[in-house]
Structure 1
Amino acid sequence: MLHEAETFCTAARQRRYFFMRDFLSVFTDSAKEFTKVRSLVTTSLLVAVSMVIEMFSIDIGFAKLNFAFLAIAIIGMLFGPCMGMMAGFACDIVGYLAHPSGGFLPAYVLVGGLQGLFYGLFLYQKWSGHSIQFVSNKTGKTTDITLYLRAIVARLADVVIINLLIQTKLNLHYGFIPQEAYGAAIVARVAKNVIELAIDLPLLFILLPVALKAYQHIFRRSVSPKVAG
Structure 2
Amino acid sequence: MSGMLVALNVILTFFDISLSNVLRISFSFLPLAMGGMLYGPVVGGAMGVVGDILGYLARPDGPFFPGFTLNALLSGALYGLFLYKRPVKLKSVIAVSLLITVSINLLLNPVWLSMMYGNAFIVLLTGRIVKNVIMFPINTALLFAALKLVERVKIRSNS
Structure 2 CA distance for aligned equivalents of residues 101 and 53 of structure 1:
14
Partner of 2:34: 74
CA distance in 2, matches of 1:212, 1:120: 14
How far residue 102 of structure 1 moved from its aligned partner, in angstroms, is 4.1
Aligned pair 1:107/2:67, yes or no? Answer: yes
AA aligned to 1:178 is: N
Confirm whether residue 185 of structure 1 aligns to residue 150 of structure 2: no
Give the structure 1 partner of residue 139 of structure 2.
200
Q: What is the aligned counterpart of 1:150 among 79, 82, 92?
A: 92
- Displacement of 1:85 after TM fit? 0.3
TM-score of the superposition, structure 2-length normalised? 0.89
Per-residue CA distance 1:17-51 (angstroms, 9 max, x = gap): xxxxxxxxxxxxxxxxxxxxxxxxx1111111111
> Which runs of structure 2 are paired with 1:24-35 in the superposition (5 Å)?
none
For the residue of structure 1 that corresponds to 2:89, the secondary structure is helix
With normalisation by structure 1, the TM-score equals: 0.63
Matched, 1:56 2:15: yes
Which of 154, 158, 161 is the matching residue for 2:103? 161
1:63, distance to aligned residue in structure 2 (A):
4.1
| Cα distance change of structure 1 residues 102 and 65 upon mapping to structure 2, 3 Å threshold | closer
Instruction: Count the aligned residue pairs.
Output: 158
Distance 1:107 1:121 in 2: 21
Structural RMSD (CA) = 2.0
1:111 CA displacement: 1.5
Deviation readout 1:168-219 (Å, 9 max, x if unpaired): 11111122x523xx3232110001111111211111221111111112323x
Relative to structure 1, the CA distance from residue 95 to residue 60 in structure 2 (aligned partners, 3 Å threshold; closer, same or farther) is closer
Which structure has greater helix proportion?
Answer: 2
Q: Which runs of 5+ in 2 are unaligned?
A: none
Counterpart CA distance in 2 for 1:121 and 1:104 is: 27
Query: One-letter code of the match for 2:108?
Result: I
Find the aligned partners of 2:141 and 2:66 in 1 and give their Cα distance: 32
**Aligned AA for 2:116?**
Y
User: SS of 1:174's equivalent?
Assistant: helix
Partners of 2:71 and 2:18 in 1: CA distance: 23
The percentage of aligned residue pairs carrying the same residue is 33
Q: Gaps (5+ residues) in structure 1? A: 1-41, 132-145, 222-229
Q: SS of 1:207's equivalent?
A: helix
CA contact (8 A) 2:14 2:59 kept: no
SS of 1:51 mapped into structure 2: helix
| Amino acid corresponding to residue 76 of structure 2 in structure 1 | G
AA aligned opposite 1:124: Y
